[in-house]
Each structure stands twice: as C-alpha cells, then as structure tokens.
Amino acid sequence: MPEGQAVSQMFAGIAGRYDIANHLLSGGIDFYWRRILARKVREFAPGEIVDLATGSGDVAFKLRDTIGKDTPVTGLDFCEPMLDEARRKKEENADYADIEFRFGDCMQLPLEDNSADAVTISFGVRNFEDRQKGLREILRVLRPGGCLFVLEFSQPDPWFRPFYYFYLKYILPLVAGIATGDKSAYDYLAGTIENFPTKEALAAELRTAGFDRVDAIGLTFSIVAIHMATKQG
C-alpha cells in the first residue's frame, strides 16, 4: 500500500488543477457519482457528517447542498494545499460558510470515540497506507448505529474491463499529464485503481474491520461503487 507522506506530497503538487483533471478525466460523470452519494447519506438522516479525504471540498459542498444547513459538515484531509483549495471555494459561496475544513490523517483521526453519525470518504480509501488500520479508525469515531459511506473506484463489469484498463493505462495518464503537468501522479493513481479490490472483496475487508450490515452498489458499469457500512448499535 502507498506511503502516506508520499501520497500527500503528490496531491500537493496537483492541488491547483485537481478539480479540472477530475471533471475532464471522468467526462463529468464525477458530478453524478457525488450526487448519488449525497442522496444515500440524506436517506440515512445523520445529525452530523465528517467527510474524510475531503480534498478540494466537492463532496462536502454536495452534502451541504443536498442535506441542508441543519446538518453540520466537517471536512478533513492530510494535504494542506488541497485544504487550501477547499477553503478558497468555501469563501466564494456564503452557503458554505459554516463548513469546517481542517487537517486530519485517516491513520490517526483528530476525533473523539463515538463522535460522528456519518462518515463519508470519496476516492481516498485506495490511498490508505494501511487499509485495515484506517477502516478501524473510522469505526472508532462512528457512534453506535452510525454509517460509513465509501465512494471509491472498483473493478468494472467483466465486459467493460478491457476498454477500461486500456483507458487507465494509456489515455488517463496522458490526458492528466496535459491537464495538470504531472503525468507521474496519474500513473500512480491509475495503478491504484487497477489494483483495488472488487466490491465483494472490499465489503469483506469492511466486515473484518468490525463493520456491520455492509451493502454495495456499483455505478457506471461498476467503475465506481458506493459501500455503506454501519457500526453495530
């Protein structure tokens, strides 16, 4: 698994162009993925939400837009330049004024035990230095009955895999290199996507970490999946 400090430095180098690259490389489908995630969280009706690996804040902002101002949202990330991007966007929209963005490493979260109703993490689990440690840390901060929502790349439907892996290996790094000026960062990210577990395997890892009632749905030919895992009440 990747070394945390190296991952943080990599994201620091692409922070200013991260959003543009995401929208370009996904063909804009990332907006749809975040919308579905936010709707799933709204159905759970949490009292407060912590968004991990919040990056430039797009998931935190979508959660606020979807769920409303009565539900506090806090965004944590271990890359300060990415947090700077989130804070900059927050300052441009008064509707987001009360969203807090602060430093937080998923290997050692700055949160009390049993302190969050819902935790979201989007495209961050595959960058964990130690996946079981990170998942157990999330379990620690969730309240009994609380829910973790993981939006993450997955292994696509079998018929689509040859096309998708060709895109990951040859197209994505090339286009990302043009968009961000750092092709090597997206070579790394493409590798983490290709080697990430299937929906079923990640569900098993969540259960091993101690989560209860794990469900998963695939989106866009299962290019990505949303896992919902509860902490036993």
Give the total number of structural domains in the chain: 1
pLDDT over 80 at 67, yes or no: yes
- Provide the residue range defining the domain that includes 167: 4-230
Per-residue pLDDT, 168: 85
Q: What predicted TM-score, i.e. pTM, was given to this entire model?
A: 0.93
Model confidence at 191, in pLDDT bands (50, 70, 90)?
A: confident
Instruction: Kindly report, residue by residue over 46-57, the tens digit of the pLDDT.
Output: 999 999 999 999
Give the CA angle between residues 173, 175, 180 to the nearest 5°: 85
Identify which has the larger pLDDT, 167 or 20. 167
Per-residue pLDDT, 192: 79
Per-residue pLDDT, 149: 98
Give the 3-state DSSP-derived string for the chain, with helices as H, strands as E and coil as C.
CCCHHHHHHHHHHHHHHHHHHHHHHHCCHHHHHHHHHHHHHHHHCCCCEEEECCCCCHHHHHHHHHHCCCCCEEEEECCHHHHHHHHHHHHCCHHHCCCEEEECECCECCCCCCCEEEEEEECCHHHCCCHHHHHHHHHHHEEEEEEEEEEEECCCCHHHHHHHHHHHHHHHHHHHHHHHCCHHHHHHHHHHHHCCCCHHHHHHHHHHHCCEEEEEEEECCCCEEEEEEECCC
CATH number of the domain that residue 36 is part of: 3.40.50.150
pLDDT, mean of residues 109-132: 96
